[in-house]
């Protein structure tokens, strides 16, 4: 039987690209997201790329612990044995100094980027241990390596993703399970549009003068990590655009 991957935040960006990539690689795909229509769109995209793919969608919000528990428990018996969990759901909101930040936006980032990841890990990993196989791939960020001005809470949440990935890896050393933390730099997805509340001009300016990464680039790395031999654990990967050196050091071509 083909392996099964569950992807959170699968309706756009990196998550959507991972769904297509893993389907093309023969995986059975469990999509999760908050929008029924968007999940249906991704399902169509997957089947266009991999007509024989098996796809199952779960509609829930990773920020809601009870929804996470219910959604995972609702999986039919033939879908319950998850081989790869991709904790991708995450976002940034706002770009203001910490002392004038929007508290509601802080809550959303913390609830999604940290607590959502924890809820999913808690719901899925015990069965992986019981089955004697599994791989957890967390989507962190270059922002988790060092804080930058006005990135405060977002940077903190991605630092937490690194710490949680490292801690889980240590806790699972007695098992065959593997833990990977992927840390993308500039990736042109809906990320900046979300951060700037739909201000398309401001979002586009983030990628001005540089060829940024695409969701598919990160999906390629995730698939590579999942495809490594059983004795190989790709613990952490920092993925940057060629003209990006860190979260804040970027060379931009004059236009």
d(CA 180, CA 222): 8
**Burial readout 66-80 (b: 16 or more C-beta within 10 A, e: otherwise):** ebbeebbeebeeebe
d(CA 208, CA 200): 12
Q: Which residue has the higher pLDDT, 207 or 1?
A: 207
| Residue found by looking up tokens 């004795």 in the block | 231
- Cβ neighbors of 21 (< 8 A, separation 6 or more) are 216, 219, 220, 222, 223
pLDDT at 198: 85
Instruction: State if pTM tops 0.85.
Output: yes
d(CA 32, CA 99): 34
The DSSP letter of residue 55 is E
Active site residues: 154
Tell me the sheet residues that pair with 250. Answer: 244
Whether residue 186 has pLDDT greater than 70: yes
CATH code that applies to domain 4-239: 3.40.50.720
pLDDT tens-digit map of 33-75: 999 999 999 999 999 999 999 999 999 999 999 999 999 999 9
d(CA 105, CA 164): 22
pLDDT tens-digit map of 94-151: 999 999 999 999 999 999 999 999 999 999 999 999 999 999 999 999 999 999 999 9
Specify whether the CB–CB gap between 22 and 223 falls below 8 A: yes
d(CA 152, CA 233): 30
d(CA 82, CA 79): 7
Query: Can you give the residue ranges of every domain in the chain?
Result: 4-239
In terms of average pLDDT, the best of 174-178, 187-191, 195-199 is: 174-178
């Amino acid at each position: 039987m083909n392996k099964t991957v569950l992807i959170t935040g699968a309706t756009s960006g990196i998550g959507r690209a991972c769904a297509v990539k893993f389907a093309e690689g023969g995986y059975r795909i469990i999509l999760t997201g908050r929008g029924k229509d968007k999940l249906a769109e991704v399902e169509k995209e997957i089947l266009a790329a991999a007509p024989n793919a098996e796809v199952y969608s779960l509609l829930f919000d990773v920020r809601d612990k009870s929804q996470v528990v219910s959604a995972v428990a609702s999986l039919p018996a033939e879908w319950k044995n998850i081989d790869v969990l991709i904790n991708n759901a995450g976002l940034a909101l706002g770009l203001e100094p910490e002392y004038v930040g929007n508290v509601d936006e802080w809550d959303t980032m913390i609830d999604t980027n940290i607590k959502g990841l924890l809820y999913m890990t808690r719901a899925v990993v015990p069965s992986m241990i019981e089955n004697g196989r599994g791989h957890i791939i967390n989507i962190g960020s270059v922002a988790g390596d060092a804080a930058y001005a006005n990135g405060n809470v977002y940077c903190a949440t991605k630092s937490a993703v690194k710490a949680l990935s490292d801690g889980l890896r240590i806790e699972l050393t007695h098992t065959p399970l593997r833990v990977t933390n992927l840390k993308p730099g500039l990736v042109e997805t809906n990320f900046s549009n979300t951060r700037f509340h739909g201000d398309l001009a401001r979002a586009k300016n983030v990628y001005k003068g540089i060829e940024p990464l695409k969701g598919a680039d990160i999906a390629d790395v995730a698939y590579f990590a999942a495809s490594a031999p059983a004795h190989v654990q790709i613990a952490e990967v920092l993925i940057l655009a060629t003209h990006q050196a860190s979260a804040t050091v970027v060379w931009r071509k004059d236009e």
